[in-house]
Structure 1
Amino acid sequence: MRKTLKIALLASVSLAAPALADEPASPIIVTGHGLDDGPATPAYDVEIIGRDTITSSASGRIEDVLSSVAGFSQFRRSDSRSANPSAQGANLRALGGNAASRTLVLLDGVPVANPFFGYIPYSAIAPERIGSVRVTRGGGSGAFGSGAVAGTIEMTSAGPDQIGLLQGEALVNDRGETQASLTAAPKLGSGFLVASVQWDRGDGFWTTPKDQRVAASARAAYETLSGSLRAVAPISGDVEVQATVLAYGDSRSLRFKGADSTSEGQQASLRVVGRGQWQFDVLGYVQAQDFSNVVISSTSYRKTLDQHRTPTTAIGGKAELRPPVGGGHVLRLGTDVKLATGRLLEMPYSATTGLATAVRRAGGDQSDLGFYLQDDWTIGKVVLTAGGRADRWTIRNGFYRSVSPTSGAVTQDSAYADRSGWEGNARGGIVWKAAEAVSLRAAAYTGMRLPTLNELYRPYVVFPVTTNANPNLKPERLRGYEAGIDVTPITPLTLSLTAFDNRLKNAIANVTVATNTQQRQNVDAIRAKGIEASAALDLGTVRLDGSLAWTDSKVKAEGLALDGMRPAQVPRLSATATLAWIPREGWRFAATVRHTGAQFEDDREQYVLPAATTLDAYVQLPVAGPVSLVLRAENLTDETIVTRNQDGSMDLGVPRTIWAGMKVML
C-alpha cells in the first residue's frame, strides 16, 4: 500500500510539472477552486462548514465533521474506525434504508463514492486538507447531478492561505492509539503545491458488549494511511490548471478475530478553470479501488465468507460553459460522463468444517452520460433559477458464476440482460429578499440514482442475516419540493428554517423474505417530509452553531410487511450544537452536543437502536511559537451508543476517548 502511495504521488508531480514550469512575468492570483457559485444557490437548503470547524473535530474524522449538519447519516452510527467500509454511505433527509449513498459527495468536483458499492471512503479524506464543505439538502439536476437524490456534499481543498507553509499534528489517546498528519503548502510563483499525508492506527475499542464477549471476540483494530498531492498553477491571466492525486489504504478488524476488511484506492484528476468573459470548467478523473472482507460465524467462530477481492475502476469527467449572456442571467451549459466497472471474487466456507464450499464471481459495467443546463436570473430583489438534465444510462455485462472449489463443476452461471434508458430531471427555485434581514425561498426538483453494482450483483452477510442481490433493480426516482426562510434579526445572528416533502419512487430497500434472509428490492416509495432548522451566532470570540432535523419518513410498499414503517437506520430526530470560544488567535475551546433519536435496525421495526446523546470537546492552547497543545474528548459522558442490534446481539460505538498531542503551524 505504501508503494502504491509513493507511485501515485510521483505521478502527480509529473502531471503538474508542465503547468508550473512557465510562470508568467507578473503575479497572478489562483484559487484552486472551481467557478463561483451562481446567484441562486441560496434557493436551496444550504449549510456551510468552515475550516475552523473542520479541523477541530474530537475524532479527527471527516464523517464526524459532516455530522455537525443535522440529518446527515450513514447506514450505521459507527465511524471509519469501527464500521465495515461497505456500510458507510452518505444520506440526508431520512432517505436511508440501505448502505448505498443517496447523497452525491464531491471532492474538488470529483465524485468520491466507491463505484461498485456506493460507500464513501471517509478514512481517505483528511480534514486537514479541506478548506470548506457545502451541504445542500434536496435533490435535483446540475453538474454531476445523477445520484443526488437526497442532496449534495461538496468538499473543497484548502490552499496555502488556509494551511500556511507547514502544518503537522501528532496525538495519542488513552487506549494508546495514534493519529499523525503532515501537510505542506508552499507557494510556487503564482501557483502552489499542497502535499499531505495522514497515518492513523490503533488496537481499537470493544464493539461487543462485555456480557456478549467470547474468546473469539476482538477489539476494532484499524490502520489507515492516505496521501495526496495537489498542484495549482496559472496558464494565463484568467485560466488555471489543477492536478490532484490521492492514494489510500485502510484495514480494520470487526467484532471477531479474523473478521478483517481492507479497502484501498488511487485517484487522479486534472481540471482547467477559466474565469474570463467566457467562463469554463473542464475536469477529468480516473479511480481504481479495491475491497476485501472476511465474515466470521457468531456461533462456530469459523470463517464463513471470504470476499477476497472487489476491484473497481471508473473514469469520468465534465465540461461546463458559462457564456456572457448578460441581462442579469448566469447561464450554465454542460455535460458529464462516468464509466464504471467492477468485479467480485468471493468464497463461502462451511461453518462446520471450515472448508470452502464454492468460488463465486460476479460483476458488471455501468455508464451515465448527462447533459444539463441551468439559468439563474436576477430581477431586483428576486432571483429565479431553472435547470434541466437528461441522462443516458446503461447497465451491461452483468453476471454471477459459482463453481465447486474441488471439482470445478459449474453450479450457477447467470448472465443478465443489458439495460439502458433515458431519464429526464429538472429543478427550479426562487429567492426573494423580502427585507434587509429576511429572505424567502422555495424550490422543487426531481432526481435519479442508478442501483449500484453491489446492489445488483453482490450478496452480503452480517451474520446471521444474509442479504441477497437483485439484478433486476430499477433506477430510483425522486420528486420533492421545499420552502424556507432565512432571517438575520441582528448582524451576528442568522436563523434558517426549511420545510420539505420528498418522495423517492422505486426506492431500493433490504426486504426480509425469510428468516435471516433479506433481498434488495424496489419498493413503491419512501416518503419523507419534515423540517430542518439551523442557527449561527458569531460574536467574534464566541460562536454558537446549531442544527436540527425532524422527519416523518415512511416506506410505501403495498403487500409487504414493511408498508407504512420507518426505513431502517433512520432516526426521526437529530440535532447538534457547537459552542466555541476563541479568546485570541491560535486559541480554541469548543464543545459539541449531538443527539440521534431512536431508530430501527431492520425493515420490520423489530430491533431498536436506542436514542443517544453525546458530548465532545476540543481545546487548542499555544505553548511556544508555532507549537500548540491539543486536547480532544470523544463521547465525554461515555454514552452507550448501540450501532447494531440483531435480536439482542449488539455492536457499540466509540466509548469515552481522550486524546492529547501537539500541533505545529508555520
Structure 2
Amino acid sequence: MSRSVSALPVSTFALLSCLLASPAVADESADAEAIVVTGHGLAEGPAEPAYDVTVLDREQITSSASGRIEDVLTSVAGFQQFRRSDSRSSNPTAQGVTLRALGGNASSRALVLLDGVPVGNPFFGHIPLSALNPQRLSSIRVTRGGGMGAFGTGAVSGTIDLTSAGPDEIGSLQASALVGQRGETQVSATTAPRLGDGFVMASVQWDRGKGFWTTPRDERVPASARAAYDSWSTALRAVAPLTDTVEVQASGLAYDDNRTLRFEGADSSSSGQQASLRLVGRGDWQFDILGYAQAQNFSNVVISSSRFKKVLDQAKTPTLAVGGKAEVRPPVGDAHVLRLGADLRVTEGHLVELPYSTVSGQPTAFRRAGGDQSDFGLYAEDDWTMGSFVLTAGVRADRWTIRNGFYRELDATGAVAENTTFADRSDWSVNARSGVVWNASNLLSLRAAAYTGIRLPTLNELYRPFVVFPVVTQANAALKPERLRGYEAGIEVHPSDAVSLSLTAFDNKLKDAVANVTLDTNLRQRQNVDAIRARGLEASANASLGEVSFNGSLAWTDSKMDASGTQAALDGKRPPQVPKLAASATLAWAPRPGWRLAATVRHVGKQYEDDQETDVLPAVTTLDAYALVPLGGTFSLILRGENLTDETIVTRNQAGSMDYGLPRTLWAGIQVGL
C-alpha cells in the first residue's frame, strides 16, 4: 500500500500538467462564442428546496474567527462534531460530524464531499478537518435528511457538499499570515490564474503552535502537556474545456496533521493523499463522471494517566479507498430534470498496534485488525415542475459487502494469543426519498419531504477495541447497518430580496443505531440500540441590509434512545454528546469595499459524556470577532478573536476528569489580495 500512497500525488500533478499543456478542443476563430468553465459539477435540480438546505457563500466561509472549516460549519443549524473541541485540540478520530442530533459515537453520519469526492476516513469514519482550508472554497451546501444521489449510503443525517473556488473568487493571489497570542502561526497562500479557456488553482496552508492547556490547572502533573499542533495541506486543481459543453477537472490533495493531547508523548498523526478526475457535460445530454483514489493513515500514542508512560502505540492505520460515479441527465422536457446514475466505493483498512508495559517499557503484544467494505449503488431521481408546484421522487438500490474482517494478537513471545476471522456479509438495500415545494408567491414557499437511508458500521466499530483510561470500549463484528426513516415540513419566507426566514420541523428515526453501550464499570461495547429518535425544529434568518448583514440559526432537538432487553436502562435517555439546543448569530458591518467587521455569538446546550447521563458537559456561550481592514494597495489587516469572554468549555468529563476547549485566543496578521 505504501507504493500506491506515495504515487497518488505524483500521478495527479503529472495529469494536471498534461491538461494545462493541451489546447482546448474548441473553435478558436474570432467569432466563436466564449467558452466558460466553472470547475463545478452539474447544477442542483429545481426540487432541491423541498429539503432543508443551507448554503454558505464565500464571504461567510473565509471570515471565521479561527480560519477553520469546523468553525464555519458550526453556524449551520444542526451541525455537530462528536466533541466540542476543534481540529487543533482533539484526537482526529473524534472528528465525526453529523446533523439533526443523530450522534452517539464518533463516526460521521453526514456525508462530506469535496468537489464530489467523499473525504471521510474509511476506517474510523472521521473527517480530516484540518485539510479542508476555507480559503479554497467558493460555497458549502448542507442538505439535511437521508441521502440520495451519488455515495448516498454515507448520508443518513445529510450531506455537506464543499465546492472549490476559482479565479473569480480567488484572483491571482490570496495570501495571509497570522500570529496568535501564544506564538501560534497560520500561513496560507492560494492562486488561481486563468490559462487559456481554463484555469489552475494551487494552494498551501501551514498551521502550528504550542497550543493551550486542555487539562484543568488542579489536575495537571509534571507530565501534562499543552495541545500542540503542526499541520499542513496542499491542493492543486486544473479545469479545462474539452468542447464548448464539456470540461475536465483534475484535482489533488495532500495533508499531514500532528497533535499532542494532555500528556507529553501522547502524539497523534493523520495524513492522506487523494486524486480525482471528473468530466462534466452541460449539453442536451448532461453528465457528470468522476473517478478517485484516496489513501489515509493514522497513528496514536496513549500515555497512562496514572504512571504517565506509554501504554499503547497505534503504530499505523493505513486505508485505501477507490471509487467513482457516473450520472446522466437525459433531455426529457422542460418540466422534468431526470437523474440516472451509478456509483462505487471500495475501501480497505488495517490497524497495527502494540500495548506496552509501564514497568518494563517493552511491548506486551502485537495486534492487527481490519477488513474490507464495498458499496455499489444505482439511483434515479426526477424533479417535475407543475406550475407553482415542484415535485421530486427518487429511489436508490445498494449492494454492500463487509469482507475479510479479522483480529489477530501475538503475545510478547510471538505466540498466537488470538486469531479470529469474521464471516463475510453482503446484502441489497433499497431506499427512497420524495418531496414537494409549493411556491405560493414570491413571498412564501411551503415544502414537505420524506426519506429513508442506510449507513454501514465502520471498520473501527466492527473490529477495533479502544481505551480512554480507565474506560474500555469493545468492538462488535456483528453490528448491523443503521437504517433511517424520516420526514419533515418547512416554510420559507422572503419579505424582500434582502431578507429570508426559514423554519423546519422534522422527525427522524435511526434504527439499529450504533452506540457505545455501558456493560459494567469502565466497560462499554459498541452495540446496535433499537433506535435513536430525533424530533425538533431548525430555524434560520438571513438579512443583507446595505452595509449590515445578519446570519442566524437555531436547532432545538428532542433526541432519545429507544432501547429494550439488556439495554432497557438506556430507554428514553439522550445520546451522548447531543445537546437539546444549539444556536449561532453573526452580525457583520462592511462600511466600505474591502472592509468587514463581524461578531458571532454561539450557544451549545448541556450535553452528556456517557450513555447513562451521569457525566455532564455544561452549557456554554461564546463570543468570536473578525475584522478585515484595508491598509492600502493590496494589503489588509486581519484581527481575529476566539472565545473573547474566556468561557470554560468542557469537552470531556469522565467521572470528574475533564478536558477543556479553547480559551480566549487573539490573532493578528496581514492579508494580500491580487
The answer, yes or no, to whether TM exceeds 0.5 is yes
Task: Report the alpha carbon displacement of residue 292 of structure 1 after superposing the two structures with TM.
Answer: 0.3
**Is the 1:5–1:248 contact (alpha carbons within 8 Å) kept by the matching residues of 2?**
no
Which residue in 1 is equivalent to 2:631?
Answer: 623
Aligned to 1:540: 546
Contact 1:9 1:228 in 2 (8 A): no
Q: How does 1:280-319 map to 2 (within 5 A)?
A: 280-319=287-326
| 1:501 and 2:523 are equivalent in the alignment | no
Superposed displacement of residue 381, structure 1? 0.3
Q: Is residue 596 from structure 1 mapped to residue 597 from structure 2 by the alignment?
A: no
State yes or no: 1:82 paired with 2:82.
no
Deviation of 1:134 after TM superposition, in Å, equals 0.5
Once the two structures are TM-superposed, the CA of residue 464 in structure 1 deviates from its matched residue by: 1.4
User: What letter is aligned with 1:294?
Assistant: V
Tell me if the contact between 2:9 and 2:274 (Cα under 8 Å) persists in the aligned partners: no
Structure 2 CA distance, aligned partners of 1:660 and 1:227? 23
Partner of 1:465: 471
Contact 2:9-2:273 within 8 A present in 1 as well: no
For the 8 Å contact 2:104–2:516, the answer to whether it is kept is yes
- C-alpha contact (below 8 Å) 1:362/1:401 kept by paired residues: yes
Cα displacement string for residues 400-443 of structure 1 (whole angstroms, at most 9, x for unaligned residues): 000013x2110000000000000000000000011220000000
Give the Å deviation of 1:16: 2.2
Equivalent residue, structure 2, for 1:60: 67
Residue 607 (structure 1) aligns with:
615
* RMSD of equivalent CA atoms: 1.3
Residue 270 (structure 1) aligns with: 277
- What amino acid is aligned across from residue 580 of structure 2 in structure 1? R
Q: For residues 188-209 of structure 1, what are the alpha-carbon distances to aligned partners after superposition, in whole Å with 9 as ceiling and x for unaligned?
A: 0100000000000000000001
Q: 1:8 to 1:632 in 2, by over 3 A?
A: farther
Contact 2:231-2:255 within 8 A present in 1 as well: yes
Q: Is the 8 A contact 2:9 2:275 kept in 1?
A: no
Where does residue 374 of structure 2 map in the other structure?
367
Aligned to 1:587: 595
What does the per-residue CA deviation read over 1:305-343, in whole Å, with 9 as the maximum and x for residues that have no partner? 111110000000000000001150100000000000000
Q: Which residue of 1 aligns with 2:47?
A: 40
Which of 251, 254, 260 pairs up with 2:258?
A: 251
- 8 Å CA contact 2:374–2:402 kept in 1: the answer is yes
Question: 1:158: which partner in 2?
Answer: 165
Paired position in structure 1 for 2:13: 13
Deviations 1:445-497 (A, max 9, x none): 00000000111011112111111111110000000000000001233211000
TM-superposed deviation, 1:246 = 0.1
Q: Which residue of 1 aligns with 2:191?
A: 184
Separation in 2, partners of 1:141, 1:445: 9
Instruction: Work out which of the residue numbers 569, 572, 577 in structure 1 matches 2:577.
Output: 569
Match of 2:248 in 1: 241
Structure 1 residues 525-557: Cα deviation after superposition (integer angstroms, max 9, x where no partner): 000000000000111311000000000000111
Give per-residue Cα distances to partners, 1:626-664, cap 9 Å, x unaligned: 100000000000010000000000000000000000000
Identify unmatched segments of 5+ residues in structure 2: none
Residue equivalent to 1:522: 528
Of 105, 113, 129, which aligns to 2:120?
113
Residue of structure 1 in register with 2:110 after alignment? 103
What is the TM-score normalised by the length of structure 1?
Answer: 0.98
Q: d(CA) in 2 for partners of 1:353 and 1:66? A: 46
Name whichever of 11-20 and 87-96 sits farther off: 11-20
- Output the CA distance in 2 between the equivalents of 1:331 and 1:189: 33
Q: Is 1:144 paired with 2:151?
A: yes
The separation in 2 between residues aligned to 1:10 and 1:506, in whole angstroms, is 42
C-alpha deviation, 1:7, in angstroms: 7.1
| Partners of 1:300 and 1:352 within 8 A in 2 | no
Alpha-carbon separation, structure 1, partners of 2:421 and 2:151: 30
Deviation at 1:5, TM superposition (A): 11
Are 2:449 and 1:443 equivalent residues in the alignment?
A: yes
What secondary structure, in the 3-state scheme, does the structure 2 residue paired with 1:52 have? helix
Which residue is 1:321 aligned to? Answer: 328
Identity rate of aligned residues, in percent? Answer: 68
Question: CA separation in 1, counterparts of 2:334 and 2:670?
Answer: 53
- CA distance in structure 1 between the partners assigned to 2:653 and 2:359 by the alignment: 25
Q: Distance in 1 between matches of 2:4 and 2:272?
A: 9
Match of 1:410 among 397, 407, 416: 416
- How far is the alpha carbon of 1:70 from its aligned partner? 2.3
Of stretches 155-164 and 137-146 in structure 1, the one that deviates more from structure 2 is 137-146
SS of the aligned residue for 1:507 comes to strand
Specify the SS of the correspondent of 2:154: coil
Shift of 1:4: 11
CA distance in 2, matches of 1:4, 1:143: 25
User: Contact conserved, 2:203 with 2:236, CA < 8 A, in 1?
Assistant: yes
Q: Which whole-Å CA distance do the structure 1 matches of 2:18 and 2:357 have between them?
A: 56
* C-alpha distance in 1 between matches for 2:207 and 2:17: 30
CA distance in 2, matches of 1:117, 1:429: 33
Paired AA for residue 241 in structure 1: V
CA distance in 2, matches of 1:624, 1:397: 61
Measured in 1, the distance between the counterparts of 2:242 and 2:498 equals 40
Alpha-carbon distance between aligned partners in 1 of 2:671 and 2:512, rounded to the nearest angstrom: 49
* Partner-residue secondary structure (3-state), 1:128: helix
Q: Distance in 1 between matches of 2:365 and 2:517?
A: 25
1:484 and 1:499 in contact (8 A); partners too:
yes
Q: How far apart, in 2, do the equivalents of 1:100 and 1:410 lie?
A: 31
Aligned residues of 1:9 and 1:227 also touching (Cα < 8 A): no
Indicate how the Cα distance of structure 1 residues 445 and 646 shifts in structure 2: closer, same or farther if over 3 A, else same: same
- The structural deviation recorded for 1:10 is 4.8
Larger mean CA deviation between 218-227 and 459-468 belongs to: 459-468
Residue among 491, 500, 506 paired with 2:497: 491
2:453 equivalent to 1:453:
no
| 8 Å Cα contact 1:173/1:657 also seen in 2 | yes
> In 2, Cα distance between the equivalents of 1:378 and 1:576?
35
Cα distance change on mapping 1:329 and 1:225 into 2, 3 Å? same
Preserved contact between residue 5 and residue 295 of structure 2 (Cα < 8 Å) = no
Task: Note closer, same or farther for the CA distance 1:57–1:141 as it changes in structure 2 (3 Å cut).
Answer: same
Q: Secondary structure at the match of 2:488?
A: strand
Which has the larger displacement, 16-25 or 256-265?
16-25
Distance in 2, matches of 1:296 and 1:464, equals: 12
Please report how far the alpha carbon of residue 141 of structure 1 lies from its aligned counterpart in structure 2 after TM superposition. 2.3
1:383-405 per-position Cα deviation (integer Å, ceiling 9, x unaligned): 00000000000000000000013
- Matches of 1:655 and 1:11, distance apart in 2: 43
Letter in 1 for 2:140: V
* 1:650 paired residue among 640, 643, 658: 658
Q: How does 1:189-200 map to 2 (within 5 A)?
A: 189-200=196-207
Q: Using the alignment, how far apart are the partners of 1:361 and 1:13 within structure 2? A: 34
For the structure 1 residues 584 and 48, does the alpha-carbon distance in structure 2 shift closer, same or farther, using more than 3 Å as the test? Answer: same
**In the alignment, structure 1 residue 474 sits paired with structure 2 residue 480:** yes
Shift of residue 278 of structure 1?
0.2
- Is the 1:5–1:227 contact (alpha carbons within 8 Å) kept by the matching residues of 2? no
Is the CA contact (8 Å cut-off) linking 2:147 and 2:159 kept in structure 1?
no
Q: Are positions 1:554 and 2:560 aligned together?
A: yes
Residue 351 of structure 1: how far off its partner (Å): 3.4
